[in-house]
Amino acid sequence: MLSIIIPTLNEEKYLPVLLKSIARQDFKDYEIIIADANSKDKTLDIAREHNCKIVSGGLPAKGRNEGSRAAKGENLLFLDADIILPPNFFRKALSEFNAEKINFGAFILLPYPKNKISYFFFNNFYNKQTAFFEKFSPHAAGAAILIKKDVFKKLNGYDETVKLAEDHDLAKRAKKITKFGFLKSTKVFVSDRRFRQNGWSNTIMKYVFCEFYMALVGPVRSDIFKYEFGHYDRYMEDK
């Protein structure tokens, strides 16, 4: 079984789109776990309508850890609430994951709605970088991560003291004990809402400085980058 874990906070606009893209998959051996951080909108009603299991969450790292504790599957798929999965995503991803004997996988990320700025950022600052550093300095975006449950347990899950790029921290720790892979057989579509709301240049510079900080200092355990969870609620594109 595949356990899909989604941390949420006021995601009534985006969560239904993700859940519909999951329901359209031809692979059905999965469970969906919503790790909710006390949403005030209809997020939990939507989760119940789609027969999701609900657990208490918090910041993304805590939500993912709590979701993993309730998971029954041997593989864990961590997804953000503002993504869309393409057709045959599960079958392609799991087939490559198993064939390559990967125990921790990251995915190609593409933005929606697509425009030149968002595509340039995702393709050049994430996809190409992740592919280039795959063998010696793994990167992974929390938007979509596939990992063996037993490996996740050995790592003691996400480090909840890390304030930003906790997914990269998990990937770097995982590389020390297992095989990391950048899965290229399928892709994940990610909303560009955080870039448009916070500003493209501000967001890009934050990630660039975060990379330097992690390389020179280590995991980001202070609030130096002013990370907020659950405030991207101004935009909803037509699907």
Cα distances (Å, whole numbers) of residue 11 to 14, 86, 94, 188: 5, 20, 27, 18
Over the stretch 139-180, which tens digit does the pLDDT of each residue have?
A: 888 899 999 999 999 999 999 999 888 998 999 899 999 999
Lowest mean pLDDT among 32-36, 110-114, 148-152, 153-157: 110-114
- SS3 for 152? helix
More confident residue, 121 or 184: 184
Q: Percent of the chain having pLDDT more than 70?
A: 91
Per-residue exposure over 85-117, b if at least 16 CB sit within 10 Å of its own CB, e if not: beeebbebbbebbeeeebbbbbbbbbbbeeeee
Whole-angstrom distance, CA of residue 106 vs CA of residue 84: 15
- SS3 for 179? coil
- pLDDT (average), residues 180-202: 86
Q: What is the 3-state secondary structure of 26-39? A: CCCCEEEEEEECCC
Beta partners for residue 140, in sequence order: none
What φ, ψ does residue 134 adopt, rounded to 5°? -50, -45
How many CA atoms lie less than 13 Å away from 155 in the CB half-sphere? 26
Whole-angstrom distance, CA of residue 224 vs CA of residue 7: 23
- SS3 for 164? strand
What's the pLDDT score for residue 232?
A: 54
CB 78, CB 64: distance < 8 Å: yes
Q: Is residue 235 pLDDT above 50, yes or no? A: no
Assign residue 85 a region (left: φ > 0; alpha: ψ between -120 and 50; beta: otherwise). beta
What the chain holds in terms of domains, given with CATH numbers, is: 2-216 (3.90.550.10)
- Sorting pLDDT into bands at 50, 70 and 90, what band is 200? low
Lowest mean pLDDT among 26-30, 117-121, 144-148: 117-121
Beta partners for residue 105, in sequence order: 146, 181
Residues 6+ apart with CB under 8 A from 202: none
Beta partners for residue 84, in sequence order: 189
Assign residue 214 a region (left: φ > 0; alpha: ψ between -120 and 50; beta: otherwise). alpha
Q: Is residue 93 pLDDT above 60, yes or no? A: yes
Over the stretch 54-81, which tens digit does the pLDDT of each residue have?
A: 999 999 999 999 999 999 999 999 999 9
- Sorting pLDDT into bands at 50, 70 and 90, what band is 208? confident
CB 112, CB 86: distance < 8 Å: no
Whole-angstrom distance, CA of residue 97 vs CA of residue 183: 7
